[in-house]
């Protein structure tokens, strides 16, 4: 049965004043997948508005030059018509956005009078460059030029200066609100996340390898709660889900879409763990070595058959809906 049809059936029972506990109903996902972050077929919702982060913060300039960064692990420096390897930039990181950022920031630190330009159109790289330009207190000119003709050249220096209040949160909020490897939450985009960051909500524990994951999740819960418009202190994402449902139904006779409700606490915690793992890698971009955090302990499952990682959308013992029981990964649903 379609997940929205199941949801409508439950709401219909409530309307008919059956003996159902609303808080108990909304403390479960009501589906096999958290619909705020996953499609009905189990596919993770992928952020389609990633570039909005860049559009909201970029400062454009037309004064630019071209420097090409190679694809090899050992970067190549081009100067006065000559190419030479940069042994000092060797890295065990595998992500291209991290390698590009490491190389660009290193070049900018070498010569405060230099003009470094990164030829790239990736939002990850934009966020990384802005973050490290500010955190490393750079002074050199640093720009980001799209390889696509007609697009603006971004002045990273001016972007970091103009938005210095939220740039320290940039990598964390970008991961938490969805990108290529993490579920975006239905209805929560980059513009809303930036607005919440400007109000003083912080994510300074997300991505810190030694941080307590419980405290990381509590901080992320407060941030996402504010994105949903719930600004009063709330103990869990499930409570925020219940409050938002009450608000939406109080303004309309029709029940809100199930996917428009926040995920339950169990589902949200898995997304926080995935974001925590990724941001920790971003924070180690300049070190040359990624952190020793196991992906399978941070919201991912190993698919040995296909030799890849797949996102864990909820804990194995999570209750999917009222009347359901789980044990050691097995599930029984009472219809």
**Residues 205-245 pLDDT 10s:** 999 999 999 999 999 999 999 999 999 999 899 999 999 99
Tell whether 102 and 186 lie within a shared domain: no
Tell whether 103 and 208 lie within a shared domain: no
Q: Give the number of other CB atoms < 10 A from CB of residue 9.
A: 11
Q: Is residue 73 part of a domain?
A: yes
Residue-level pLDDT at 327? 43
Q: Is residue 96 part of a domain?
A: yes
Q: Is residue 324 part of a domain?
A: no
Tell whether 181 and 145 lie within a shared domain: no
Expressed as residue numbers, the domain containing 94 is 51-79+90-165
User: Which residue stretches of the chain have pLDDT < 50?
Assistant: 63-68, 325-335
- The backbone region for 254, taken as left when phi is positive above 0, alpha when psi lies in -120 to 50, beta otherwise, is beta
Rounded to the nearest 5 percent, the helix, strand and coil shares of the chain are 40, 10, 45
Residue-level pLDDT at 25? 74
Q: Is residue 332 part of a domain?
A: no
Q: Is residue 219 part of a domain?
A: yes
Number of separate domains in the chain? 2
Tell whether 38 and 62 lie within a shared domain: no
Residue-level pLDDT at 242? 94
Tell whether 314 and 182 lie within a shared domain: yes
Residue-level pLDDT at 85? 79
Q: Is residue 327 part of a domain?
A: no
Q: Give the number of other CB atoms < 10 A from CB of residue 51.
A: 15
Instruction: Pick the last residue of a domain from 100, 131, 165.
Output: 165
Tell whether 192 and 281 lie within a shared domain: yes
Q: Is residue 171 part of a domain?
A: no
Number of helices (H) and strands (E) in the chain: give both, helices first: 11, 10
Tell whether 26 and 68 lie within a shared domain: no
Counted residue by residue, the chain has a size of 335
Residue-level pLDDT at 51? 77
Tell whether 38 and 183 lie within a shared domain: yes
Q: Is residue 11 part of a domain?
A: yes
Residue-level pLDDT at 5? 75
Instruction: Pick the last residue of a domain from 116, 131, 165.
Output: 165
Tell whether 215 and 68 lie within a shared domain: no
Residue-level pLDDT at 150? 85
Residue-level pLDDT at 332? 36
Tell whether 284 and 315 lie within a shared domain: yes
Whole-angstrom Cα distance, residue 137 to residue 169?
16
Residue-level pLDDT at 72? 66
List, in sequence order, the alpha helices (H) in the chain. 3-15, 22-26, 51-57, 96-110, 123-135, 156-162, 170-176, 190-198, 213-227, 237-251, 265-283
Tell whether 185 and 273 lie within a shared domain: yes
Residue-level pLDDT at 18? 58
Tell whether 56 and 151 lie within a shared domain: yes
């Amino acid at each position: 049965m379609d997940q929205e049809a199941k949801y409508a059936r439950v709401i219909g029972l409530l309307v008919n004043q059956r003996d159902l506990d609303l808080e108990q109903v909304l403390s479960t996902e009501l589906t096999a997948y958290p619909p705020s972050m996953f499609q009905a077929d189990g596919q993770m919702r992928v952020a389609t508005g990633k570039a909005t982060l860049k559009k909201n913060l970029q400062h454009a300039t037309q004064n630019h030059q071209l420097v090409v960064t190679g694809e090899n692990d050992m970067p190549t420096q081009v100067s006065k018509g000559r190419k030479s390897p940069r042994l000092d930039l060797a890295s065990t990181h595998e992500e291209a956005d991290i390698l590009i950022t490491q190389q660009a920031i290193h070049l900018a630190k070498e010569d405060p009078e230099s003009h470094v330009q990164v030829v790239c159109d990736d939002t990850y790289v934009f966020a990384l460059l802005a973050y490290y330009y500010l955190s490393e207190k750079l002074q050199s000119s640093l720009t980001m030029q799209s390889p696509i003709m007609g697009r603006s050249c971004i002045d990273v220096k001016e972007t970091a200066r103009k938005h210095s209040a939220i740039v320290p949160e940039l990598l964390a909020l970008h991961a938490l609100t969805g990108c290529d490897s993490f579920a975006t939450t239905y209805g929560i985009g980059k513009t809303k996340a930036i607005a919440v960051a400007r109000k003083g909500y912080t994510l300074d524990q997300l991505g810190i390898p030694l941080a307590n994951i419980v405290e990381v999740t509590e901080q992320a819960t407060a941030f996402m709660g504010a994105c949903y418009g719930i600004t009063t202190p709330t103990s869990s994402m499930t409570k925020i889900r219940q409050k938002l449902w009450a608000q939406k139904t109080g303004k309309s006779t029709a029940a809100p879409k199930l996917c428009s409700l926040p995920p339950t606490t169990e589902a949200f915690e898995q997304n926080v763990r995935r974001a925590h793992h990724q941001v920790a890698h971003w924070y180690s971009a300049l070190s040359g070595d990624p952190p020793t955090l196991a992906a399978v302990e941070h919201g991912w499952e190993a698919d040995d058959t296909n030799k890849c990682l797949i996102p864990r959308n909820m804990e194995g013992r999570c209750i999917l809906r009222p009347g359901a029981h789980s044990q050691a990964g097995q599930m029984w649903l009472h219809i």
